[in-house]
Chain A
Amino acid sequence: MKKIILIILAITLTLSLVPLDAFCLAQPNEIQQNKDYTSFPTFDILNDFLEACPSRVAGSEGEKNASIYLRDKFLSYGLECKIEEFQFQKDGLIATSYNVVASTKITSPNLKQIVIGAHYDNVNVGNGASDNASGITALLSIAKAIATSTTKFNIVFVAFGAEELGMLGSLRYVANLSTTQRDNIALMVNIDSISMGDNVYFYAEDINTDYNNMFVDVANNNAYGIKTYAKPISKGIITGFSGLGTYPYFQMAQSSDNSSFRSVNIPTVSIFSGNYNTAIGYKESSVTSNNVMHTPNDTLEFGLKALGDDYLKKIEIVSNCVVNILTNIQFEANIITAREQMVAKFWLSPWFASAICFVVLIVCGILGYLYINKLKKNAILGDTEIKNNRIFKPESSDDIYKL
């Protein structure tokens, strides 16, 4: 009997030492590792890009090679393409980065422009499969589809460089645009880190907008039955930081290239993945090990092991959604009116709030000054003034008679 108990104890102890995750994931992992993902059109684009450009750190030779790779890809789709070079300071030295700008052939200069953007650089750990090779895959996939379609807009595809160092590529791109060119942009769609997070989110403003809702609705009609969401409006706001341009405050969903456009009053839709239900605000995933952004685990292998098909499905959903919107005439009205729906009202700006604050302070100052003078007079005269007032007023004389 003792032996049996000892054996059971030994087995229990051994099992308790093995992490639960190992039981849950061991079997699916093996299946997923051997799985063929070529049925997903985006898999080839993603895999090819990561094999050709595994390291794309801003200012490095790898980033330059990636820009050439992307230019060649855009050209192969039949788009016009150019590389825009720009300099920035890195570790006290001048470094060079590149924006790759492709566009459909302009049929009419009067047509409004839509910019689809994604950054292609990564941090110096992992190979940035989710952040942001996934976005680049969606961008290439959209470009490939749009190149052979007709749209009611001039479409510009931009692969931004040096985003990880503070959105340098998109800031430079926007700075080079004239006021007329900025006014001509109807919408900027930014795609960043869409594969590893739990859910796909669409974010435009912290109010409901037709154009953002349109993206969510179209994305929800996907073939995989995966639900996408509009970013919850009251989440991700950091107090104490200033807003971007005319935007009234700092919103974490603006920590990407969309903010460079939004800060000059260009309407934006930011597409990203994550989870707003697991933490107070934003977290990439509810599974701790799946929070891979800017870590060595941000690789295609890890992503496929952890999420399987879902890793690629999200890229497919985003690219199909954007293509559907750009090629469908019925969405035109929503995009054209995007600018009117933005939170860019002067009365919401810090200037207006400060102006009100100053007016209140000036009024307080004037009233306070008058009150101090009155108090000083009282201090000098003691209670005399009050007594005199009462004596010479008719109602006060009644008081005297009553007394």
Chain B
Amino acid sequence: MIEKLREKYALSAWLIRIAFVVTYVFAFWYDTCGIVDYMSMIFVDFTASLWYVPLVAVVTGICMLGILMIMVSVIINFCRLYYLPKAEFTLIVTAFFVLRHLIMGVLKLLYYITPIIHIWGQLLIPLIATLICAILFYKTVKKLYLNNLNEPHFFKCELILFIVYFGVTSVATLVA
């Protein structure tokens, strides 16, 4: 699969980016509905039809893709992951975010049945989806780029990022 990706790199890159935005819409549909709904309540003349949701979600998804690319670049430099091919690694990160969005989207379907699990979902759905993807991501990167010497460093960086991100998110949820 990776070989195919490398053969048609430009096409693969665009397909993954498009998949990122599409799956973002799927994963954050419910949340975007809330935002559009809130706007509809505040602005009297604005009636939030269903079409605004994908529109807002696509725009947000594109912004998030841009942010993700910048963040990957920053993390590579900050964590000194110089042994990784930057462009290809960014693409693999994006691909795993696609998988993360798919898992989140499926789990968030539960909101429509029991919205009372909402606060759980807000914290635990991303945690579950990210944990699964992080393990698979590590295995893929290990297979492709890592050796005995740089493997501990890469794993340490990934683990710290994971713990810090969700630690901050949990604290932020409580403070909010």
Contact A350 B117, beta carbon cutoff 8 Å? no
Complex CA gap A376/B155 in Å reads 11
Q: Which residues of chain B from 36 to 66 have any CB-CB distance to chain A below 8 Å in the complex?
A: 36-38, 40-41, 44-45, 47-50, 52-53
Contact A360 B151, beta carbon cutoff 8 Å? no
Complex CA gap A293/B173 in Å reads 32
**With A206-B116, A357-B170 in contact, do A283 and B47 touch (Cβ < 8 Å)?**
yes
* B70 adjacent to chain A (CB < 8 Å): no
Contact A239 B120, beta carbon cutoff 8 Å? no
Minimum CB distance partner of A207 in chain B: B116
Complex CA gap A206/B113 in Å reads 10
B interface footprint on A18-32 (CB within 8 Å = 1, 0 otherwise): 000000000000000
Contact A379 B117, beta carbon cutoff 8 Å? no
Contact A237 B34, beta carbon cutoff 8 Å? yes
Complex CA gap A361/B122 in Å reads 16
Contact B163 A281, beta carbon cutoff 8 Å? no
Give the shortest distance, in Å, between A146 (CB) and chain B (any CB): 33
Minimum CB distance partner of A358 in chain B: B170
For A360, list chain B residues within 8 Å (CB). 127, 131, 166
Minimum CB distance partner of B134 in chain A: A364
Give the shortest distance, in Å, between A391 (CB) and chain B (any CB): 19
Contact of A291 among B45, B120, B122 (CB under 8 A): B45
Minimum CB distance partner of A284 in chain B: B44
Complex CA gap A378/B53 in Å reads 50
Q: Which residues of chain A from 244 to 262 have any CB-CB distance to chain B below 8 Å in the complex?
A: 248-249, 252, 255
A interface footprint on B145-171 (CB within 8 Å = 1, 0 otherwise): 000110110011001001100110111
Contact A350 B44, beta carbon cutoff 8 Å? no
For A383, list chain B residues within 8 Å (CB). 148
For B159, list chain A residues within 8 Å (CB). 364-365, 368, 372
B interface, over-half SS: helix
Task: Give the size of the chain B interface in residues (CB under 8 angstroms).
Answer: 49
Contact A281 B48, beta carbon cutoff 8 Å? yes
Contact B49 A280, beta carbon cutoff 8 Å? yes
For A243, list chain B residues within 8 Å (CB). 119
Contact A353 B123, beta carbon cutoff 8 Å? yes
Give the shortest distance, in Å, between B172 (CB) and chain A (any CB): 10
**With A356-B124, A372-B155, A378-B148 in contact, do A280 and B117 touch (Cβ < 8 Å)?**
no
A-B contact count (CB 8 A): 152
Contact A280 B36, beta carbon cutoff 8 Å? yes
Complex CA gap A23/B71 in Å reads 58
Minimum CB distance partner of A285 in chain B: B47
Complex CA gap A317/B30 in Å reads 34
For A357, list chain B residues within 8 Å (CB). 123-124, 127, 166, 169-170
Contact of B148 among A234, A255, A382 (CB under 8 A): A382
Give the shortest distance, in Å, between A5 (CB) and chain B (any CB): 40
Minimum CB distance partner of B38 in chain A: A238
For A283, list chain B residues within 8 Å (CB). 40-41, 47-48
For B30, list chain A residues within 8 Å (CB). 239
**With A279-B48, A354-B170, A357-B123 in contact, do A252 and B38 touch (Cβ < 8 Å)?**
yes
Complex CA gap A339/B174 in Å reads 25
For A378, list chain B residues within 8 Å (CB). 148, 151
Give the shortest distance, in Å, between A274 (CB) and chain B (any CB): 9
For A282, list chain B residues within 8 Å (CB). 37, 40-41
28 intermolecular pairs with C-beta atoms under 8 Å apart: A238-B34, A243-B119, A249-B118, A255-B41, A279-B48, A280-B40, A280-B52, A281-B34, A282-B37, A282-B40, A283-B47, A291-B44, A348-B120, A349-B119, A350-B119, A356-B123, A356-B124, A357-B123, A357-B124, A357-B127, A357-B169, A357-B170, A361-B167, A364-B131, A368-B155, A368-B156, A368-B159, A383-B148
